[in-house]
């Protein structure tokens, strides 16, 4: 303001009741009649409060304009740097901010959810059967087959009775709930596989997709009446003991063989961990045994020489093994010997059962000649009953998924995505990385630069 020069003003007439307008009129009359003004000592633009206010405003807005133009230049340089980084770091990719990325992930996820209803029935049933067997295998083998099969060679009727009782208890108390859990697992696997098949999907969306699917699946509850429907179907399927075709017989034998081989492999690994590596592994792979494994190996060798085929050793057999071990300098009590015998007996039993399963593959004709009442290969019939129940369950679950559960899951997924879209912190957590941060920064810089340019344009028009 000093550079613009001083202004002459009249600020009033010392009257408290004067208005602003009357003061202005008095000021104008004063300067029109002033000798300084008439003689040209003071320029017309250097007098009155109005000219003073205009001068101050002009000075102020000039400073504002200069400052804004500097800021606009700074943001323009910043924008150029950010755009250059994007072009070099993420070529051929759109600059999508966090909200736009979330909407893209949302659209892809809902598209995949819609594809669930288009999965072929055969693929659904195969996946469901695998999930059901994985969930039920341990219970079938340890809780039903092994306790009953221990007496199969001695009393087939006792085996069948035990199997009938245990299968019915299993179907009435556990199988329906287990089936729902397996159905949910199959639904999760199918959804995950559908998402992984999308080759053009951007990896940056994966955290959002995974979080949304996991949350939707955790909220999804199977329809309550579905368990009752499954329970009726399963009880009826398990009661049927008539194998109708050679294909069903061979399928049951294959299921039995696969189950026995899997359990035999696990048992052999358990024995190896107890008794340590064998002669071949010690020489070929330079493996060694601990002191406890050497002790267990001595007990194992003595028990194998005993040649017993019963699941539980008698007292005399345990004493004989213990005395033989003591003569060789190995100290083992009765409980230690019985504990070692369990995996040895299980391995021998599984090997014998696997041999019986191979023999039974050729016995379907004999089974049909006896009208399904024969006592041969009763173990195969048991596995066929289980397989038939699982197939029936898989078929029912597949229909439930196609008719209701896929739609219920889609609704849960939409609700989860709606909640996530309104949660800025969640989106920031799931969509992160330099690519997202750079796009967000570019968006902010462009917005600020555009506002500054609009402001400068308005200032120029005002001038």
pLDDT of res. 398: 93
Phi-psi region of 333 (alpha: psi -120 to 50; beta: other; left: phi over 0): beta
Instruction: Please provide the size of the chain in residues.
Output: 463
pLDDT of res. 203: 82
Distances (CA, A) of 395 to 72, 201, 264, 402: 67, 32, 30, 11
pLDDT of res. 363: 86
pLDDT of res. 417: 93
Distances (CA, A) of 174 to 127, 178, 186, 232, 285: 21, 6, 18, 13, 45
pLDDT of res. 151: 61
Residue 285's pLDDT band (cuts 50, 70, 90): low
Say yes or no to pLDDT of 434 above 70: yes
pLDDT of res. 371: 63
Say yes or no to pLDDT of 373 above 60: no
CA 259 from chain centre, in angstroms, equals: 29
pTM above 0.85, yes or no: no
CA 387 from chain centre, in angstroms, equals: 30
Report the range of poorest mean pLDDT among 2-11, 21-30, 314-323, 445-454. 2-11
What pLDDT digit, counting tens, does each position of 182-235 carry? 999 898 888 888 877 766 678 888 889 889 988 998 898 898 889 999 999 999
Report the range of poorest mean pLDDT among 157-171, 284-298, 341-355, 374-388. 284-298
Mean local confidence (pLDDT), 131-147 = 90
Report the range of poorest mean pLDDT among 146-155, 289-298, 335-344. 146-155
Residue 152's pLDDT band (cuts 50, 70, 90): low
Say yes or no to pLDDT of 15 above 80: no
Report the range of poorest mean pLDDT among 184-198, 330-344, 426-440. 184-198
């Amino acid at each position: 303001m000093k550079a613009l020069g001083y202004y002459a003003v009249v600020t009033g007439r010392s009257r408290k009741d004067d208005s602003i307008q009357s003061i202005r009129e008095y000021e104008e009359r004063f300067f029109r009649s002033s000798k300084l003004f008439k003689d040209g000592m003071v320029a017309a633009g250097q007098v009155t409060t109005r000219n003073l206010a205009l001068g101050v405003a002009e000075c102020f807005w000039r400073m504002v304009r200069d400052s804004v133009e500097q800021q606009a230049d700074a943001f323009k340089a910043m924008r150029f740097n950010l755009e250059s980084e994007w072009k070099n770091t993420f070529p051929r990719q759109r600059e999508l901010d966090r909200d736009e990325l979330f909407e893209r992930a949302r659209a892809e996820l809902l598209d995949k959810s819609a594809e669930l209803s288009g999965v072929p029935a055969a693929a659904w049933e195969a996946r469901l059967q695998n999930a059901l067997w994985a969930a039920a295998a341990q219970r079938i083998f340890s809780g039903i087959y092994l306790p009953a099969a221990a007496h199969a060679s001695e009393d087939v009727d006792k085996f069948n009775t035990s199997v009938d009782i245990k299968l019915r208890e299993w179907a009435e108390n556990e199988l329906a709930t287990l089936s729902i859990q397996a159905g949910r697992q199959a639904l999760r696997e199918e959804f995950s596989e559908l998402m992984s098949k999308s080759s053009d999907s951007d990896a940056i969306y994966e955290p959002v997709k995974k979080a949304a699917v996991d949350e939707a699946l955790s909220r999804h509850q199977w329809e309550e009446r579905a368990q009752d429907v499954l329970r009726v179907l399963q009880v009826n399927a398990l009661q049927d003991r008539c194998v109708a075709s050679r294909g069903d017989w061979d399928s049951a034998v294959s299921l039995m063989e696969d189950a026995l081989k899997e359990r035999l492999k696990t048992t052999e690994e358990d024995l190896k961990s107890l008794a340590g590596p064998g002669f071949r592994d010690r020489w070929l792979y330079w493996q060694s045994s601990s002191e406890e494994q050497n002790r267990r190996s001595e007990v194992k060798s003595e028990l194998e020489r005993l040649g017993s085929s019963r699941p539980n050793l008698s007292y005399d057999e345990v004493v004989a093994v213990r005395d033989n071990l003591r003569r060789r300098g190995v100290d083992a009590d009765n409980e230690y010997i019985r504990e070692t015998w369990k995996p040895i007996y299980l391995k021998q039993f599984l090997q014998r059962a696997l041999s019986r399963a191979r023999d039974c593959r050729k016995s379907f004709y004999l089974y049909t000649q006896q009208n399904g009442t024969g006592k041969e290969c009763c173990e195969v019939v048991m596995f066929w009953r289980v397989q038939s129940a699982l197939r029936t369950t898989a078929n029912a679950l597949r229909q439930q998924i196609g008719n209701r559960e896929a739609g219920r899951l889609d609704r849960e997924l939409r609700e989860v995505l709606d909640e996530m879209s309104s949660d800025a912190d969640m989106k920031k957590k799931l969509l992160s990385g330099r690519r997202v941060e750079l796009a967000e920064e570019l968006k902010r810089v462009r917005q600020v630069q555009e506002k500054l340019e609009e402001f400068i344009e308005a200032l120029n028009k005002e001038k």
